[in-house]
Amino acid sequence: MVQKKIRNMEEFAAVSGISRPTLSKYFNDPDSVRRSTRHKIELALKQYDYRPNVFAVNQNRRKTKNIGVVVPNLADPFFSEIGREVELACISAGYSPILLSSHGNPSQERNNLESLRSLKPAGVLLAPFGRVSDHAEIESFNKDVPVVLFDANIEGICEAFVGTDNFQSVDLIVEYLCRSGEPPCFFEMKSPTNPNANKRRQAYLESMERHGHTPHIFQAEGSEWNFEEIGSAEGGRFLSENAFKTNTVLCSNDRLAIGMLSAAFRQGRRVGHGEGCDLRIAGHDDHPFSRFTCPSLTTIAQDYAAIANRAVSTLFRILDADERLKQREETQFDGKLVMRDSA
Amino acid sequence: MVQKKIRNMEEFAAVSGISRPTLSKYFNDPDSVRRSTRHKIELALKQYDYRPNVFAVNQNRRKTKNIGVVVPNLADPFFSEIGREVELACISAGYSPILLSSHGNPSQERNNLESLRSLKPAGVLLAPFGRVSDHAEIESFNKDVPVVLFDANIEGICEAFVGTDNFQSVDLIVEYLCRSGEPPCFFEMKSPTNPNANKRRQAYLESMERHGHTPHIFQAEGSEWNFEEIGSAEGGRFLSENAFKTNTVLCSNDRLAIGMLSAAFRQGRRVGHGEGCDLRIAGHDDHPFSRFTCPSLTTIAQDYAAIANRAVSTLFRILDADERLKQREETQFDGKLVMRDSA
DNA sequence: TGTAATTTTTGACGCGCGTTAAGTTTTAAT
DNA sequence: ATTAAAACTTAACGCGCGTCAAAAATTACA
Least CB–CB distance from A59: residue in B59, B120, B292:
B59
Architecture in CATH for domain A66-164+304-333: 3-Layer(aba) Sandwich (3.40)
pLDDT of A3:
66
User: The whole model's pTM is what?
Assistant: 0.91
Residue scoring higher pLDDT (B81 or B133): B133
| Same fold: B66-164+304-333 with B166-301 | yes
Footprint of strand D on the protein (CB under 7 A): A 17-22, 25, 32-34, 36-37, 59-60; B 7-10, 20-21, 23-24, 27-28, 34, 36, 52-53, 56-57, 59-61
CATH superfamily for domain A166-301: Response regulator (3.40.50.2300)
Section B323-331 average pLDDT? 93
Q: What is the pLDDT of residues A36-93, one digit of tens each?
A: 999 999 999 999 989 999 999 999 887 889 999 999 999 888 899 899 999 988 988 8
Does the structure show a pLDDT above 60 at B179? yes
Does the structure show a pLDDT above 60 at B2? no
Is B262 close to A292, i.e. CB distance below 8 A?
yes
Confidence bin at A1 (pLDDT 50/70/90): very low
Does the structure show a pLDDT above 70 at B309? yes
Does the structure show a pLDDT above 90 at A5? no
pLDDT of B204:
98
Section B52-61 average pLDDT? 91
Is A289 close to B289, i.e. CB distance below 8 A?
yes
Chain A interface test: which of B289, B291, B296, B341 (most A C-beta within 10 Å):
B289
Strands B123-126 and B96-101: unpaired
**Residue ranges covered by each domain of chain A:** 9-52, 66-164+304-333, 166-301
Distance from CA of A119 to the nearest CA of B (A): 7
Does the structure show a pLDDT above 60 at B1? no
